[in-house]
With several copies, the nearest count.
Chain A
Amino acid sequence: MYAPSSVDAPRIHTPDFITESALTIPIYGMLGEDGRPYEGADPSGVAKEIVLAMHDAAVFTRLLDERMVAAQRQGRLSFYLTATGEEAATVGSAAGLEPDDMILPQYREQGALRYRGFTAAQFMDQLFATEDDLGKGRQMPVHYGSRALSYMTVSSPLATQIPQAAGYAYGQKLAGEGRCSICYFGEGAASEGDFHAALNMAAVIRCPVIFFCRNNGYAISTPVSEQYAGDGVAARGVGYGVRSIRVDGNDFLAVYLATQEARRQAVSEGVPVLIEAMTYRLGAHSTSDDPSGYRSRKEEEAWQRFDPIARIRAFMEAQGWWDAERDEALRQGYRDEILAAMKTAEAKPAPSLARLIEDVYAAPPWNLTEQYEALREQVRANPDAYPKTAGRIE
């Protein structure tokens, strides 16, 4: 029975308002700035292979980001978006999952995708919209997706994936195969109505989903001080009855362990969990952006010091798992691989014209068939105007 007036909530007789100071949210961290474990932090739960694999994926995407920003500046690519500085958040969390847990990304989670095994060639096919792109060349660069890797295709409208993750996870629960979903989003996207819908629904309907917020300080030019007035995103979880944790998002070990624990609770109890990873977007929002218009070099430099890759490398070296030589070999190998893959992709043709009307529906209805026929004639009649497709019309 619903009877709040009679529940044993404490009574007060003066109108005292509660404020955010009613709630203190600590930060969960394993590694200090220098990469050394905090006192009381026990890193032994993270296997060596996991650490190496996380570092590997992080280095790959860091190099990919560098290469593609350069490619965009050279005019070889229309658009790109780096995750520089956020690798611990995305790779560390992916590592904390099982490989067939579903990932619903925002767009800055190439680290998670790489951890799952997306190849340099696959990245390039998407970025250059080649005929081998799994997305058939239909979306802007960085809108990756792969069913084989349980990585839902990126969609630009912000926050739409958050309630979708609740629904997907509910399906996983019904299917009873012990899987869960993770949903990434920025602290900016967490202002959208879909965020609210998702957390509340997931809590009420009991969906095994990990809501993973990358709080990187900015939504394009908008700093968190103009995004919210409360204590970040983790503080909201409590209101929804969703267990929440704030974690140092530049600390691979903490992100990994928090995600692993979140997964355990989500799957075993069938409930949602919220993780807020505090990090920083070291680069521009995207290649269309120039941060000098809204933040200081000084601030950026201050954050360089928390570089997650440097911290995990220091940790690895202290453990005797890594050294400069191995590091250079890894990097050079990836640099070469990435460059070669880019050249290959650049040389590939675009998807054929027929792709344009496929997949709107399972089968094209009359209007699309007719429009395609007319277009084919149009391209045939004006091959110079449509160089991407004119050469190979079916």
Chain B
Amino acid sequence: MARMNLLQALNSALDTAMAADERVICFGEDVGQFGGVFRATSHLRDRYGNERCFNTPLVEQGIIGFANGLAAAGFRAVAEIQFADYIFPAFDQIVNETAKFRYRSGNEFNVGGLTIRSPYGGGISGGHYHSQSPEAYFCHTPGLKVVVPSTPENAKGLLLASIRDPDPVLFFEPKRLYRAAVGDVPEEDYTAELGRAEVLREGGDVTVLAWGAQVEVVTRAAEMAAEKGIDCEVIDLRTLLPWDVETVTRSVLKTGRLVINHEAPRTAGFGAELSATVQERCFLYLESPICRVTGLDTPFPLAHEREYMPDHLKTLAAIEQTVNF
């Protein structure tokens, strides 16, 4: 065990993966000598050489196109997109290519070796283009897996699992926690299972669901609710596609209430899918409407970032409203 922040945990995961398997290749804008603008790939070039960790030209569609080809050739391509806001030029390569590669070829070819890492989310005064949470776009795309860690410990385990998973994975890193989240992380090689949610806090009154950086926010809201005598069950979804329907519905069948929190705009965010599916499965058990606490239906703002964010206060209000419905 070592104390690490979330970035160090990710760096440790990449280091571990590259040491264990020479077919793991890391690349992206500024990831080589510089180690990435957030330094997630620090030292990897020195340790594994420029052939296995390198800068690419500045072209996201090319990075993912290249990564698809490299993965198809049997490598474990780990591509970094510098900010999730800049993943959209690669959208075609991800949605039309990565996601459909195995299916369209009848499994003659696949890009299961691909992992796309990208920092996402707000709370860093980043405005429109350094704050977005684009996970819902990818969750509507069969063939992809979508993973979002929330702590240094699960970040390392989930990233190692993603790199080794037989399917392509989008791995969104909560950059607000890069340095803010610090915890004990095993130094050795370990994986955390994809597709599993984690119940962080058991409770009987209401289920509160989040992922990534918002897990901390809802946990805080749950603590405040506890002071008011409301007993929240807090779930960290961790994998969004495919998501852990069993853990979530089991909880809602127990509590009868669900509050979902995400940073992305409300309309057609991933909260909508969770809400729709849970009400299909728990209909007779629901005691109040499933409630979403989300970003607004605006581009991500700067001056009003605080007002925009689905913070602990809004979450607490939603919890109370849900319980008192």
Q: Which residues of A contact B (CB under 8 A)?
A: 78-79, 102, 104, 129, 133-140, 143, 145-147, 152-153, 155-158, 160, 162-172, 174-175, 181, 188-189, 191-194, 196-198, 200-201, 204-205, 219-222, 226-228, 288-289, 293-294, 350-351, 353, 355-363, 365-368, 371-372, 375, 378-379, 381-382, 385-386, 388-389
**CB-defined contacts of B30 to chain A, threshold 8 Å:** 219-222
- Is there contact, CB below 8 Å, between A388 and B104? no
**Is the beta-carbon distance between A162 and B65 smaller than 8 angstroms?**
yes
Residues of B near A166 (CB, < 8 A) are: 62, 65-66, 69
Q: B residues 68-111 with Cβ under 8 Å of A? A: 68-75, 77, 85-86, 88-89, 92-93, 96-97, 100, 102-110
**A152 contacts which chain B residues (CB < 8 A)?**
72, 105, 109
Do B303 and A294 have beta carbons less than 8 Å apart?
A: no
Q: Identify B57's interface contact among A228, A288, A365, CB under 8 A.
A: A228
Contact of B34 with A by CB under 8 A: yes
Q: Smallest distance from the beta carbon of B214 to chain A beta carbons, Å?
A: 17
Interchain CB contact under 8 A, A365 and B143: no
Q: Which of A139, A155, A172, A357 has the most CB atoms of chain B within a 10 A radius of its CB? A: A139
- Say how far A108's CB is from chain B's closest CB, in angstroms: 15
Report yes or no: A164 in contact with B68, Cβ–Cβ below 8 A.
Answer: yes
Closest CB-CB distance, B269 to chain A, in whole Å? 12
Considering the chains assembled together, what is the distance between the CA atoms of A174 and B297 in angstroms? 36
Looking at the assembled complex, report how far the CB atom of A247 sits from the nearest CB atom of chain B, in whole angstroms.
22
A79 to B112, CA, bound (A): 31
CB of B58 within 8 A of CB of A193, answer: no
Interface size on B, residues (CB 8 A): 82
Contact assessment for A167 and B70 in the assembled complex, using a CB-CB cutoff below 8 Å: yes
* Minimum CB–CB distance for A248 against chain B, Å: 24
Minimal Cβ-Cβ distance residue in A for B304: A356
Nearest opposing residue in chain A for B93, CB measure: A160
Which of these, B29, B69, B105, B142, contacts A360 with CB under 8 Å?
B142
CA distance A174 to B49 in the complex (A): 12
Q: Which of A137, A194, A289, A375 contacts B65 (CB 8 A)?
A: A194
- Indicate if the CB atoms of A385 and B59 lie closer than 8 Å: no
Closest A residue, CB atoms, query B114: A167
Inter-subunit contact A378/B313 (CB<8 Å): yes
B130 an interface residue at 8 Å Cβ cutoff? yes
20 A-B pairs whose Cβ atoms sit less than 8 Å apart in the complex: A79-B125, A104-B69, A135-B106, A137-B301, A137-B304, A138-B127, A138-B302, A145-B105, A163-B64, A163-B66, A163-B69, A166-B66, A167-B77, A171-B72, A196-B59, A220-B29, A226-B32, A350-B303, A375-B296, A381-B317
Q: Is residue B188 within 8 Å, beta carbon to beta carbon, of the partner chain?
A: no
Name the residue on A nearest B267 (C-beta). A367
Q: CA separation between A78 and B130, bound complex, in Å? A: 13
Residues of A with C-beta under 8 A to B176: none
Residues of B with C-beta under 8 A to A153: 104-106, 108-109
* Cβ–Cβ < 8 Å partners of B129 in chain A: 140, 155-157
**B positions within 8 Å CB-CB of A:** 25, 29-30, 32-35, 37, 51, 54-62, 64-75, 77, 85-86, 88-89, 92-93, 96-97, 100, 102-110, 112, 125-130, 142-143, 145, 166-167, 195, 242, 245-246, 266-267, 296-299, 301-304, 306-308, 311, 313-314, 317
Residues of A within 8 A of B304 (CB): 137, 350-351, 353, 355-356, 388-389
Most interface-central of B74, B88, B297 (chain A CB within 10 A): B297
Whether the pair A194, B61 counts as a contact (CB closer than 8 A) is yes
Given contacts A147-B108, A355-B304, contact A288 B70 (CB under 8 A): no
Across the interface, A146 reaches (CB within 8 A) one of B107, B108, B130, namely: B108
B57 touches A140 (CB 8 A): no
Most buried by A among B62, B110, B128: B62
Q: Which residue of A lies closest to B295 (CB)?
A: A371
Q: In the complex, given contacts A160-B65, A167-B69, what are 11 additional A-B residue pairs having Cβ atoms less than 8 angstroms apart?
A: A138-B128, A139-B104, A152-B72, A153-B106, A155-B96, A175-B74, A197-B57, A221-B55, A222-B30, A361-B102, A371-B297
CB nearest neighbor in B for A294: B34
Closest residue of B by beta carbon distance from A375: B307
Q: What chain A residues lie within 8 Å of B102 (beta carbons)?
A: 359-362
Contact A140 B125 (CB under 8 A): yes
Whole-angstrom distance between the Cβ of B168 and the nearest chain A Cβ: 9
In the complex, A109 Cα to B137 Cα: how many Å? 33
CB-CB under 8 A from A227, the residues of chain B are: 57-58
> Considering the chains assembled together, what is the distance between the CA atoms of A167 and B311 in angstroms?
41
User: How many Å from the CB of B305 to the closest CB on chain A?
Assistant: 9
What residues of B have a CB within 8 angstroms of the CB of A359 in the complex?
Answer: 102-103, 106-107
What is the distance, in angstroms, from A63's C-beta to the closest C-beta of chain B? 25
Q: A residues within 8 A CB of B103?
A: 138, 359-360
Q: How many angstroms between the C-alpha atoms of A192 and B61 in the bound complex?
A: 8
Chain B nearest CB from A179 CB (Å) reads 10
Minimum C-beta distance from A96 to chain B (A): 21
Cα separation A30 to B110 with both chains bound (whole Å): 40
A152 to chain B, nearest CB (A): 6
Distance of B130 from chain A, by nearest CB (Å): 7
In the assembled complex, how far is the CB of residue B318 from the closest CB belonging to chain A, in whole angstroms? 10
Cα-based distance from A236 to B266 in the complex (angstroms): 43
Q: Across the interface, which residues of B come within 8 angstroms of A219, CB to CB?
A: 29-30, 58
Across-interface contacts of B112 in A (CB, < 8 A): 362
